[in-house]
């Protein structure tokens, strides 16, 4: 798969974390997502980063800006998906999405359950706002990678279907699938 | 299992497709469902067919007619379950159902994920209206068969529980399960 | 793991059943849950029992009392999760919870599907009210055990995260998982 067969895609990476946003510790989760994108995506892309505390209104405002103002076609969040009272990323995601894609949450939990039984506690979800896919990931960099390795295979075709750019991937990292009629070249 | 141990069941088969309903191409999905029913169901049955464009209000009206006027005990839809803006079958289904059965969507996606990673994008669901089970299937005839082969095993007992007819199946096609206390003969 | 490394936890066990609550037959499901707790939980615990008919308002009132008045940190329900019209436990649970944990329903159905295809019909769910986890189980004692054996591994850490007592388990029965930073001793 050669560079340039796809179109420029802007990815939003939103880290929701009280402690990382206050400078208590370094955000390792956002960079883990970018590292994956650097390895997996072969079509042109750029990233818009966002680091916010676990406040639903702030997460919602950031998601809206990433989609509506920054023109992101995919926004990946990390953090705030557990059962603790300060975990509100799924609520913020659902509030700004026009429709939900329940399969992502199911698959992400199933992937993580192979590694740790407490994956069942994650409330992560995914949905569509305009022509942008918003996807919640957990906070742990290791879990992020385990999930993206598997789930990202469906992202390019999803973006096609909702009117976004044509994304291509390195099949040695992620074997993105499109039905034959949707493939270019 | 002999013919006649069960009761007459009316199945509704609803195809949601802009292109098939406008005559752009032939509906292959509805017939794939009927083909399966012909092989699987050994108790008496008949079918009511319906072909509508991907308009939520039309799908809702058709589902209501299939259940309330035609007296279907099971309605199987095909098409309109993806993330594209014109895909509205799950919304229509949820709008006409009194309660949802989330397990069907989960299982159908899990079955299809064995074949194709983009199965995660399906929003298909199932629910109950009155004493009728409404079940969304995807549009592809191959996926329809993969899913029905597995999921239909729970349909007869579900119909029992919601007050519909006693459906029997050919166990070489689908091994329908009922707990011992719910079995006839 | 020695007794006393954890804190007193009050468990609520609610059986929803028209027939058991009217005395038509003995409640075997509630005792099956207590039997499991007796084998699995090594920190101090006590139980508050509740047997109610399948009436949504009564189940809701009982759940509220178990959480708000009795101070339960975990409430496990049994019964009323199927598709039949009298099955209303998930509705009652959702009505009294502030947030839902969809992973539990998914995992419980997946566990039961290994044993019986009609597990797909279960609508069981889980959610949080205050600092209490409410978990729906099916009615069958055998299914209860199959599910608790697997799902309970995530319960102690969930209770930690929502502000409840530190629960310890016998790892030969349930290998409860906590991330290293959340472990005592």
Cβ contact B17:B53 at 8 Å: yes
Residue pairs between chains A and B whose CB atoms are closer than 8 Å: 57
Which chain B positions have a beta carbon within 8 Å of C123's beta carbon?
99-103
Cβ–Cβ gap A158/B121 under 8 Å: yes
How many Å apart are CA B109 and CA B111, to the nearest integer?
Answer: 5
- Helix extents (H) in B6-153: 18-21, 29-40, 56-64, 89-96, 102-113, 141-151
Predicted pLDDT of residue C2: 46
3-class SS at B126? Answer: strand
Predicted structure pTM score: 0.96
Of B18, B136, B23, nearest to B84 by C-alpha is: B18
C43-73: per-residue pLDDT in tens?
999 999 999 999 999 999 999 999 999 999 9
Of B100, B154, B176, the CB nearest to C120: B154
Computed over its alpha carbons, how large is the radius of gyration of chain C? 15
How many Å apart are CA B105 and CA A24, to the nearest integer?
Answer: 41
| Mean pLDDT over each residue of chain B, to the nearest integer | 96
- Which residue has 């999405």 as its token pair? A97
Write out residues 122-161 of B within 8 Å (CB-CB) of C. 128, 133, 150-151, 153-154, 157-158, 161
How many Å apart are CA A75 and CA A57, to the nearest integer?
Answer: 17
- Residue C8's alpha-carbon distances to A63, B43, B80, B178, C33, in angstroms, are 42, 56, 51, 41, 18
Predicted pLDDT of residue A2: 46
Mutate to test the interface with B, among A102, A147, A150, A160 (most CBs of B within 10 A): A102
Residue B1, pLDDT above cutoff 70: no
Q: Which chains touch B (3 or more CB pairs under 8 A)?
A: A, C
Mutate to test the interface with C, among A105, A121, A143 (most CBs of C within 10 A): A121
Predicted pLDDT of residue C74: 98
Cβ–Cβ gap C103/A120 under 8 Å: yes
How many Å apart are CA B132 and CA C8, to the nearest integer?
Answer: 47
Which chain C positions have a beta carbon within 8 Å of B177's beta carbon?
116-118
3-class SS at B165? Answer: coil
Domain residue ranges in chain B: 9-182
Cβ contact A169:A177 at 8 Å: no
Which chain C positions have a beta carbon within 8 Å of A121's beta carbon?
101, 103, 154, 157-158, 161
State what percent of residues in chain B have pLDDT above 90: 95
Of A100, A128, A177, the CB nearest to B116: A177
Please give, rounded to a whole number of angstroms, the shortest distance from the CA of C151 to a CA of chain A: 8
Strand partners, A126: A135
C106-131: per-residue pLDDT in tens?
999 999 999 999 999 999 999 999 99
| B10 at interface of A, judged by CB pairs closer than 8 A | no
Cβ–Cβ gap C154/A118 under 8 Å: yes
A50-86: per-residue pLDDT in tens?
999 999 999 999 999 999 999 999 999 999 999 999 9
B61-77: per-residue pLDDT in tens?
999 999 999 999 999 99
Cβ–Cβ gap A118/C178 under 8 Å: yes
Please give, rounded to a whole number of angstroms, the shortest distance from the CA of B47 to a CA of chain C: 24
Which chain C positions have a beta carbon within 8 Å of B99's beta carbon?
83, 91, 123
Please give the helix or strand (H or E) that residue C13 lies within, else none.
strand C9-16
Q: How many CB atoms lie within 10 A of CB B1?
A: 13
- Residue B41's φ and ψ, nearest 5 degrees, are -90, 125
Residue B2, pLDDT above cutoff 80: no
How many Å apart are CA A125 and CA B115, to the nearest integer?
Answer: 22
Residue C139, pLDDT above cutoff 80: yes
Which chain A positions have a beta carbon within 8 Å of B88's beta carbon?
none
Question: If pLDDT is split at 50, 70 and 90, which confidence band does B57 have?
Answer: very high
How many Å apart are CA B41 and CA B174, to the nearest integer?
Answer: 9
How many Å apart are CA B95 and CA B57, to the nearest integer?
Answer: 10
Cβ–Cβ gap C116/B175 under 8 Å: no
- Residue B84's φ and ψ, nearest 5 degrees, are -70, 155
How many Å apart are CA B147 and CA C155, to the nearest integer?
Answer: 33
- Residue B97's φ and ψ, nearest 5 degrees, are -95, 150
Range A9-182: architecture per CATH: 3-Layer(aba) Sandwich (3.40)
Of C151, C161, C178, the CB nearest to A120: C151
B122-146: per-residue pLDDT in tens?
999 999 999 999 999 999 999 999 9
| B113 at interface of A, judged by CB pairs closer than 8 A | yes
pLDDT along chain A (185 residues), means of 10: 73 97 94 98 97 98 98 98 98 98 98 97 98 97 96 98 97 94 89
Q: Which two tokens stand for residue A159?
A: 């973006």
Of C139, C14, C141, nearest to C80 by C-alpha is: C139
Please give, rounded to a whole number of angstroms, the shortest distance from the CA of C17 to a CA of chain A: 27
| A175 at interface of B, judged by CB pairs closer than 8 A | yes
How many Å apart are CA C119 and CA A106, to the nearest integer?
Answer: 17
| Mean pLDDT over each residue of chain C, to the nearest integer | 96
How many Å apart are CA B160 and CA B182, to the nearest integer?
Answer: 8
Predicted pLDDT of residue A81: 98
Predicted pLDDT of residue B6: 86
Predicted pLDDT of residue A6: 86
B14-44: per-residue pLDDT in tens?
999 999 999 999 999 999 999 999 999 999 9
* Mean pLDDT across C23-36: 96
Of A64, A35, A66, nearest to A49 by C-alpha is: A66
Question: If pLDDT is split at 50, 70 and 90, which confidence band does C6 have?
Answer: confident
The four Cα atoms C170, C33, C124, B170 give a dihedral, to 10 degrees, of 100
Residue C3, pLDDT above cutoff 60: no
């Amino acid at each position: 798969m050669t560079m340039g067969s796809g179109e420029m895609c802007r990815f939003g990476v939103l880290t929701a974390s009280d402690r990382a946003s206050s400078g208590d510790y370094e955000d390792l989760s956002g960079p883990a997502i970018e590292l994956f994108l650097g390895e997996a995506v072969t079509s042109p892309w750029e990233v818009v980063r966002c680091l916010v505390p676990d406040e639903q209104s702030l997460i919602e405002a950031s998601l809206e800006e990433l989609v509506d103002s920054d023109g992101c076609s995919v926004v990946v969040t990390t953090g705030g998906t557990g059962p603790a009272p300060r975990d509100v990323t799924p609520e913020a995601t659902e509030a700004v999405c026009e429709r939900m894609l329940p399969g992502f949450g199911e698959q992400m939990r199933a992937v993580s359950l192979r590694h740790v039984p407490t994956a069942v506690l994650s409330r992560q979800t995914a949905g569509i706002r305009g022509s942008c896919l918003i996807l919640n990931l957990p906070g742990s960099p290791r879990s992020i990678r385990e999930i993206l390795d598997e789930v990202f295979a469906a992202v390019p075709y999803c973006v096609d279907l909702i009117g976004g750019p044509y994304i291509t991937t390195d099949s040695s990292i992620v074997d993105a699938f499109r039905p034959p009629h949707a493939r270019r070249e």
